[in-house]
Amino acid sequence: MHTYPICRICGNTKLYFSGHLGNLPQINYCSKSAEEAKHLKKIPINLFFCEHCYHFQLGESFSPEETFKTYSYATQFTPSIRKHGNTIVDWFTEKYGMQKNAFVVELASSDGAILRSFVDRGYTRVLGIEPAANIARIARKNGIKTEAKFFSRAFAASVVRRHGKADFVLARNVLAHVPETVDFLQGIRDLLKPEGVFCVETPYGKNLIDFFEFDSIYHEHLSYYLVSTLQYAFGRAGLAIINIEETNMHTGSLAVFAKRVEAKHPVSPHVAEYMQEERKNGYFEKQLYKNFIAKCKLRIANIQPYVSRIRKQESVLVGYGAAAKANVIINLAGITPETINFIVDRNPLKHHTWAPGSGIPIKPVAQLAASPAKHIILFAWNFADQILQANKDLSRAGKQFHVLIPKPMRITPELLQKKNSFKFYRSLDV
């Protein structure tokens, strides 16, 4: 276990303790047996707030080597990833004039699904850098040039020596995982050409707080960012934010575009507007974060009774989606194989393994149709509309879907008909 007693952004040693949410194992580890899964080491989820740069972070983590040795998350199994990949290509081409000969580097590139969107649009100079060796092998098998390395300032120098500087650098859902944030960002600055553009896509800390998305809090996610905190971190690394786009991915992420501070790209007024809004609405106040933890605990306490009530009515209860979110909920709420018989998932890397901490079996989605289960717990609630659309036959067969975040409730295709998952959950009174 790694303990980090100082702010990862500014180095402040007097962090405010916001609260303890529970204990979790390595959340993306797939065990080879139920017994192994149940006896995985768990470490605390302790959260801290920095009153100097307004950074919200975990105090403990597993080592990167432990986390990525047998990693099971792969981008290609995320719904809508191909569409989102094309959106990213459009951002770079339409906003920043990316040409077909541009050198594009993606950090934490997973199985290459996003870089595949660039290649399919005629961009041939792409490079993925992925810390999980098993996932990097999948990317290379899929024809995407990928190096299995942890990115850092030192490794950036190696990339520049061997490949030259990049026109565009993309980092999707990785900055929250980085233990040495400023070093990571300095590496990006060193990797960029003088007028190059960096895009980091990250869940928005404001949404985490507003909608009590505690299932996003686990040891791989070391940091939870406001725009104000990102601007401070970028400034320490010689970068500056130039624009922000909101996306529906993961129920509300930010795509933050940045340049080297001396570059000529104009800065959108949206950047200052985000930071003013954060200050105005209390996101710089430590009590907000303490209250957030307390309210999350109340919501966690409501989950097990809700699931147990359904289970008592049925002989079989199953879950849909064995992603990290599911394992956070399951472990914090104390859900066991006696409550949920098995979970189905699209990712074959997880099939015929057991969920970390609980020992609940994970099976292919095809197992759902043959199951007598009438109720399905939809752990992948952030993709509810797409999952229900893809499983209309299950709804027609009388199977009922339930979500547990942001509050336990039954959902139907009709409920989501006029709004996607993102808009629907944002409309709830939570």
125: number of Cβ within 10 Å: 17
Per-residue tens of pLDDT for the chain, all 430 residues: 677 789 999 999 999 999 999 999 999 888 999 999 999 999 999 999 999 999 999 999 987 766 655 554 555 555 567 788 888 999 889 888 889 999 999 999 999 999 999 999 999 899 999 998 888 999 999 999 999 999 999 999 999 999 999 999 999 989 999 999 999 999 999 999 999 999 999 999 999 999 899 999 999 999 999 999 999 999 999 999 999 998 876 556 899 999 999 999 999 999 999 999 999 999 999 999 999 999 999 999 999 999 999 999 988 999 999 999 999 999 999 999 999 999 999 888 899 999 999 999 999 999 988 899 999 999 988 888 888 888 888 888 889 999 998 889 998 777 766 556 656 666 666 5
Residue 140's pLDDT is what? 96
Which CATH number is 304-427 given?
3.40.50.720
DSSP string, 89-144: HHIIIIIH---TT--EEEES-TTSHHHHHHHHTT---EEEE-S-HHHHHHHHHTT-
Is there a shared CATH topology between the 75-264 domain and the 304-427 domain? yes
Judging by beta carbons within 10 Å of its beta carbon (0-12, 13-18, 19+), is residue 243 exposed, middle or buried? buried
Please enumerate in sequence order all residues whose Cβ is within 8 A of that of 83, keeping only pairs 6 or more positions apart, or say none. none
Residue 85's pLDDT is what? 85
Residue 188's pLDDT is what? 98
Q: Please give the structure tokens belonging to residue 287.
A: 């009590």
Q: Please give the structure tokens belonging to residue 406.
A: 């942001």
CATH class assigned to 75-264: alpha beta
Residue 345's pLDDT is what? 93
Strands 400-403 and 409-411: antiparallel
Q: Break the chain into its structural domains and give their ranges.
A: 75-264, 304-427
